[in-house]
Amino acid sequence: KAGVTQTPRYLIKTRGQQVTLSCSPISGHRSVSWYQQTPGQGLQFLFEYFSETQRNKGNFPGRFSGRQFSNSRSEMNVSTLELGDSALYLCASSLTQGIEQYFGPGTRLTVT
């Protein structure tokens, strides 16, 4: 079974731009969660989607948004990028909500 895939793996953007990251969950998994990982803050929960509905949201500004498609693939978007948005963005999928999450390799976003 293929694991969680994320594209692109690396991205460099300029302040003020927007970015879209993509995540394909493990086949059959309906829940997709997104996390931001930075050296100082660790793994911070962004949001979770289950069956195309956002079920949980972390404490991030509205510039961070996401969606899930009918095939469970998910995208997250960050608008008006700031330097502090530089991080590793991780996607995790699970059969149902929350438990036994399997992570992708992440997208390394650098904002200059």
Partner 1 sequence: QQQVKQSPQSLIVQKGGISIINCAYENTAFDYFPWYQQFPGKGPALLIAIRPDVSEKKEGRFTISFNKSAKQFSLHIMDSQPGDSATYFCAAGYRDDKIIFGKGTRLHILP
Which residues form the interface with partner 1 (CB under 8 A)? 4, 33, 35, 41-45, 48, 56, 58, 90, 92, 96-106
Local structure of 73: helix, strand or coil: coil
How many Cβ atoms from other residues are within 10 Å of residue 61's Cβ? 11
* Choice between 14 and 39, CB closer to partner 1: 39
Q: How far is the CB of 62 from partner 1 (least distance, A)?
A: 19
Give least dist CB 110 to partner 1, A.
15
CB of 88 to partner 1, least distance (A): 9
Token look-up 């500004």 returns 61
| CB closer to partner 1, 35 vs 64 | 35
111: nearest Cα among 66, 63, 72, 74: 63
CB-CB neighbours of 21 under 10 Å: 21
14 or 41: CB nearest partner 1: 41
* 18/68 Cα distance (integer angstroms): 18
